[in-house]
Amino acid sequence: MTRKMLMFAAGAAVALASGLIMTAPARAQSGPVAAAMAAGTVGEQADGYLGIAGTVGADVRSEVESINIKRRAAYTQLAGQRGVTVQDVAAATGCQTLSSRVKQGQAYRIGAGPWQTKGAGAISLPAYCATAG
Amino acid sequence: MKTQAIMIAALAASALGGCIQVKAPDKPIEINLNVKVQQEVVVKLQRDAQDLIQNNPELFPQ
């Protein structure tokens, strides 16, 4: 609970400080998190955030937290533009990451369920996800 | 003749007793649409979410 609140506070601070996350320069995608995702120790969650699925080092853990804080800031910004809740934006993004970004062999989680490994077929998404993207 | 009259009377009585009664409920019928509304919001946001992912590659490593 405290951690979530901290994340939220930090996310808000980042949003205020940087103003626009959209303008942040794109970094190379070959980081420790990408490697952990390939290894299945970090995965996408249906709630729109990254999660720790296995044993990871401190560097990966802090990078995951940092990414989640930035994601929340981006979700918050879009939610404000669309007049919806941050949770709605996060859930919609979760639908997208699970349907089109998680690759075979990578870990993912829906709700409070167990971590699963994506097989050859498509992930069976929560009912609220649209089939037509 | 008399027994026939009695039988007809009995039949009529049983037919009356078997009437189906339709009665409106006294309480209003409530339909919960929260789930559907939530679904529509998420569906509309799918395209926005797609753009968000594409515009922020550093937040969505693969």
Closest by Cβ to B58, choosing from A24, A75, A130: A24
Selection from B6-15, B27-36, B46-55 with the highest mean pLDDT: B46-55
Residue A103 is part of which domain span?
2-21+32-117
Instruction: Identify whether A126 is part of a domain.
Output: no
> What residue segments make up the domains of chain B, in order of their start?
31-62
The ipTM is 0.73
Residue A87 has pLDDT above 80, yes or no: yes
Interchain contact, A92 vs B49, CB within 8 Å = yes
pLDDT tens per residue across span A55-70:
999 999 999 999 999 9
Q: What's the burial of A60, exposed, middle or buried (CB within 10 Å: 0-12/13-18/19+)? A: buried
Instruction: Identify whether A131 is part of a domain.
Output: no
Check if the beta carbon of residue A59 is closer than 8 Å to that of residue A36: no
Q: Which two tokens stand for residue B54?
A: 């594409």
Mean pLDDT of chain A: 83
Q: What integer pLDDT is reported at residue B17 of this predicted model?
A: 61
A104 residue type, one letter = Q
Instruction: Identify whether A8 is part of a domain.
Output: yes
The number of folded domains in chain A is: 1
CA distance A51 to A108: 8
Interchain contact, B60 vs A21, CB within 8 Å = no
Residue A118 has pLDDT above 80, yes or no: yes
CB of A34 within 8 Å of a chain B CB? The answer is yes
Residue A81 has pLDDT above 70, yes or no: yes
Q: What integer pLDDT is reported at residue A130 of this predicted model?
A: 66
Instruction: Identify whether A13 is part of a domain.
Output: yes
String of DSSP letters for chain B: -HHHHHHHHHHHHHHHHTPPP----SSPP----HHHHHHHHHHHHHHHHHHHHHH-GGGS--
Residue B18 has pLDDT above 50, yes or no: yes
Q: What integer pLDDT is reported at residue B1 of this predicted model?
A: 63
Instruction: Identify whether A57 is part of a domain.
Output: yes
Residue B4 has pLDDT above 70, yes or no: yes
Q: What integer pLDDT is reported at residue A97 of this predicted model?
A: 96
Instruction: Identify whether A124 is part of a domain.
Output: no
Check if the beta carbon of residue A98 is closer than 8 Å to that of residue A110: yes
Identify from B34, B44, B46 which residue to disrupt to test chain A contact, counting A C-beta atoms within 10 A and taking the largest count: B46
Q: What integer pLDDT is reported at residue B23 of this predicted model?
A: 82
Instruction: Identify whether A132 is part of a domain.
Output: no
pLDDT tens per residue across span A39-60:
999 999 999 999 999 999 999 9
Q: How many Å is the Cα radius of gyration of chain B?
A: 33
Average pLDDT over residues A81-110: 95
Residue B15 has pLDDT above 80, yes or no: no
Q: Which two tokens stand for residue A132?
A: 């037509």
Nearest residue of B to residue A26 by CA position?
B58
All residues at 6 or more sequence positions from A85 whose CB lies less than 8 Å from its CB, including other chains:
A79
Instruction: Identify whether A81 is part of a domain.
Output: yes
What is the DSSP code (8-state) at residue A113? S
